[in-house]
């Protein structure tokens, strides 16, 4: 049985039927956090049902159709990742995850999923790895983004869960888009990758601050967290001859928070589809293309645009210093 380090005290290893008592105790702790999105707690209510869940994955692994792995932190099972579907004939598989509160905020799921995706592409020759997530599950969407996946689209009212039909977002990464082991091993590339990952996190946190899909509430406080207090935000969307609109943080956040919470703008999300980032010492620049969708005054809409973002390294880490955008 292999064990893969995920950090100083975290480990990834196969989750097998004999782990059922430990798995059940973990699910009991995780129940308030995961059962809203996936039916782990519904399926695992006692030792027999917990064993059945793990045995089902063991049977599927024997058929090369799925796999499941646990994440242990300080010797305690706190979550896991899995191939929910694995089809070597088509070259397509799907990765999923879950985590209890004790494991959050450490990057464990992202590192574990990276290990699975590495194996799928490098060892098994898969062509495409997918990530299916219920609209509104913002934590899961953020993992897909950190993994460098692209949002392919939404399967509307695809899945029924607890009497409610849910939209499902489909994200994916292709083998040619996944960095090689050689690239990861280069020290300079690794250092640059760390900075790039932090800038990616800031951009994703900014875009995610406005999401209110699936009944979730936007988190406009995240905008203040990613910008320096003196930041400038500019909308240049009026077309030729129109004056740009210049905001400070207060004037930018206020009206958007109102629209996103008073029913004017619902089911809204915005995401990057392409970007180019240049780091020059303690400053950086990002050119970004994005898409957005939602329901405004009862009418569904979709849109796209471009942003430029400037970053500065501060004593407390990288922050955005200015942003300008135009809608297309």
Task: Give pLDDT tens digits for 34-66.
Answer: 877 877 667 888 999 999 999 999 999 999 999
SS3 185: helix
Q: What is the DSSP secondary-structure string of 237-261?
A: -S-TTPPPEEE-HHHHHHHHHHHHH
Residue 236 pLDDT more than 70? yes
Q: How confident is the model at residue 258 (pLDDT cuts 50, 70, 90)?
A: very high
Q: Which of 277, 303, 300 is nearest to 290 (CA)?
A: 303
Is the CATH code 3.40.630.30 the one for domain 4-178?
A: yes
- Residue pair 6/78 in contact (Cβ under 8 Å)? The answer is no
Helices 47-62 + 20-34 axis angle, to 10: 100
4-178 and 187-327 have identical folds: no
Six-digit token string for 68 = 């499941």
Question: How far is it, in rounded angstroms, from Cα 16 to Cα 18?
Answer: 6
| Average confidence score pLDDT of the chain | 90
Instruction: Parse the chain into domains and list their residue ranges.
Output: 4-178, 187-327
pLDDT at 186: 54
Higher model confidence: residue 316 or residue 253? 253
Please report, rounded to a whole number, the percentage of residues in the chain having pLDDT higher than 70: 95
pLDDT at 210: 94
Question: How far is it, in rounded angstroms, from Cα 299 to Cα 265?
Answer: 9
The span from the first CA to the last CA of the chain, in angstroms, equals 53
pLDDT at 39: 72
- Residue pair 320/249 in contact (Cβ under 8 Å)? The answer is no
Six-digit token string for 50 = 């917990």
Partners of residue 326 on adjacent β-strands: 306
pLDDT at 33: 80
Q: How confident is the model at residue 187 (pLDDT cuts 50, 70, 90)?
A: very low
CB environment 300-309: b (16+ within 10 A), e (fewer): eeeeebebeb
Q: How confident is the model at residue 181 (pLDDT cuts 50, 70, 90)?
A: low
pLDDT at 159: 83
pTM of the model: 0.58
Fold assignment, 187-327? Nuclear Transport Factor 2; Chain: A, (3.10.450)
Average pLDDT over residues 240-258: 91
Helix ranges (DSSP H) in the chain: 20-34, 40-43, 47-62, 108-122, 138-146, 181-185, 187-208, 221-226, 249-261
Residue 230: which residues within 8 A CB-CB, separation 6 or more? 321
Residue 208 pLDDT more than 70? yes
Strands 92-99 and 76-87, sheet pairing: antiparallel
Number of residues that make up the chain: 328
């Amino acid at each position: 049985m292999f064990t893969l380090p995920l950090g100083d005290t975290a480990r990834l290893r196969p989750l097998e039927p004999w782990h059922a008592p430990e798995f059940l105790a973990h699910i009991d702790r995780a129940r308030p956090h995961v059962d809203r999105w996936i039916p782990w707690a519904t399926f695992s209510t006692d030792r027999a049902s917990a064993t059945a869940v793990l045995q089902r994955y063991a049977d599927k692994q024997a058929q090369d159709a799925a796999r499941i792995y646990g994440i242990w932190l300080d010797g305690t099972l706190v979550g896991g990742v899995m191939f929910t579907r694995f089809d070597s004939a088509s070259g397509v598989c799907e990765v999923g995850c879950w985590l209890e509160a004790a494991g959050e905020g450490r990057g464990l799921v992202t590192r574990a999923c990276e290990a699975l995706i590495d194996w799928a592409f490098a060892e098994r020759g898969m062509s495409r790895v997918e990530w299916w997530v219920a609209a509104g599950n913002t934590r899961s969407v953020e993992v897909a983004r950190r993994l460098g996946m692209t949002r392919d689209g939404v399967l509307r009212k695809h899945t029924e869960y607890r009497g409610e039909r849910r939209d499902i977002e489909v994200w994916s990464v292709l083998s040619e888009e996944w960095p090689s082991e050689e690239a990861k091993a280069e020290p300079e590339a690794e250092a640059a990758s760390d900075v790039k990952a932090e800038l990616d996190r800031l951009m994703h946190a900014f875009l995610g601050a406005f999401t209110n899909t699936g009944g979730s509430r936007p988190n406009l406080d995240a905008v203040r967290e990613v910008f320096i207090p003196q930041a400038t935000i500019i909308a240049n969307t009026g077309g030729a001859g129109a004056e740009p609109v210049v905001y400070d943080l207060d004037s930018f956040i206020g009206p958007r928070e109102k629209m996103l919470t008073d029913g004017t703008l619902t089911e809204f999300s915005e995401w990057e589809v392409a970007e180019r980032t240049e780091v020059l010492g303690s400053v950086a620049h990002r050119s970004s293309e994005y898409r957005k969708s939602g329901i405004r005054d009862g009418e569904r809409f979709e849109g796209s645009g471009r942003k430029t973002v400037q970053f500065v390294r501060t004593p407390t880490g990288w922050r955005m210093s200015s942003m300008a955008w135009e809608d297309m």
